[in-house]
Amino acid sequence: MSDPTATQDLIKGAGEPTASPVAVRGDRRSLWRDTWDILKRRKIFWISFVMLIVFLLMAAFPTLFTHKDPEYATLAKSMEGPSADAWFGYDLQGRDVFARSVYGARTSIIVGVLATLATVLLGGLTGVLAAYFGRWIDAVVSRVGEMFLGLPYVLGAIIILGTVTPAQSNPGKAMIMAVVIIVLALLGWPILMRIARSAVIQAKHQDYVQAARALGAGPLRLIFRHLLPNSLAPILVYTTITIGSYIGAEATLSLLGIGLRPPVISWGIAIADHASYMRTGAHALLFPAAFLSLCVLTFVMLGEAVRDALDPKLR
């Protein structure tokens, strides 16, 4: 004879709704969801994220931070120190250092971001093609990349920039920035090419790629639907850090007199104009250098946080 209580429990359980397939699929984890769960618990990510927002607002809307004209000069105030009227003081030509530091964020960040995008397009595309097709394409791309890697970064930039835009020339703002962006991308793409090539080589031997190929997927579908999405993690990490390194590289080239030049406003130009006035007007040099250092540090910290979250070994 069956237990009445057990029978009632069985009937009650049978009436309860079971988990639907949609709910089950909704609980599945993904790499990017796990990455976000890790990032939002890390202080270094939020610190770098807040600093990044501040610099992006500074670049996009400089009038939120200052209402002064960065080009307005009063020679009578040349090299005056910080005061209530000018928080960072005045530079050699009597221009407000704070206003020029704020407006310099736009140029420096634009150069860093566009040079990184060009590097990603050139290096990522060549790396993916070399890894997917292999054979002679892989050999040619790898040898060309090694030729660029063998060229010292600063020396290569000096040769190219000195040839395209010599010191006696007077190009426009857009021309000056475009040349610097192209040079940075040309000298930096081989590293990203190697990263993308290695990631795609590892991904193309996975079972899901072999299954897609067996089902008749063409090269474009395999690359853009299967290989690239599963190879983005190392590319994304390197891209984030590269923006900061390119901003620093632009400042280095400007300091050497071969990068950006007036009438462009950037942190590198401000440092270059006052490098020899460290003893008599250190404020005109230190404040733009501080902005530059904080911006580079922001992208480096953000890249480190993303790398730690995406690396399964560190997790």
In a domain, 16, yes or no: no
In this predicted structure, what is the pLDDT of residue 3?
Answer: 52
Phi, psi of 90 (to 5 degrees): -120, 155
CATH value at residue 129: 1.10.3720.10
Residue with token string 């071969």: 258
Assess if residue 61 is contained within a domain.
yes
- Cα 293 to Cα 26, 112, 197, 218, 246, distances in angstroms: 43, 14, 32, 46, 12
Q: How many other C-beta atoms can be found within 10 angstroms of the C-beta atom of residue 188?
A: 24
The tens-digit pLDDT sequence of the chain (315 residues) is: 445 544 444 444 444 444 444 444 444 566 667 777 888 888 888 999 999 999 999 999 999 998 888 888 888 888 888 888 888 888 888 889 899 999 989 998 999 999 999 999 998 888 888 888 878 888 888 888 888 888 777 788 888 887 877 665 666 778 888 888 998 998 888 988 888 888 888 877 777 777 777 777 666 777 777 777 777 778 888 888 899 899 988 888 888 878 888 888 889 888 888 887 777 778 888 899 999 999 999 999 998 888 877 765 555
DSSP state of 262: T
Question: And the tokens for 36?
Answer: 């976000």
The answer to the question of residue 4 being in a domain is no
Give the count of domains, the chain: 1
Per-residue model confidence (pLDDT) at position 9: 47
Q: Which pLDDT belongs to residue 118? A: 93
Tokens of 167: 């010191």
Residue 48 lies in a domain: no
| Element spanning 89, H or E | none
**Per residue in 271-306, pLDDT tens?**
888 887 777 778 888 899 999 999 999 999 998 888
- Cβ–Cβ under 8 Å, residues 252 and 212: no
Domain range for 218: 54-67+86-310
Instruction: Tell me how far the alpha carbon of residue 76 is from its chain's centroid.
Output: 41
Whether 32 maps to a domain, the answer reads no
Contact 226, 208 (CB under 8 A): yes
- Is there a domain that residue 187 lies in? yes
- Would you say residue 49 lies in a domain? no
Residue 299 counted as domain residue: yes
List residues bridging with 96 in a β-sheet.
Answer: 90
Distances (CA, A) of 291 to 125, 215, 229: 33, 54, 35
Instruction: Tabulate helix, strand, coil % of the chain (nearest 5).
Output: 70, 0, 30
* Residues 6 or more apart in contact with residue 175 via CB below 8 angstroms: 165
Q: Tell me the whole-structure pTM to 2 decimals.
A: 0.80
pLDDT score, position 8:
47
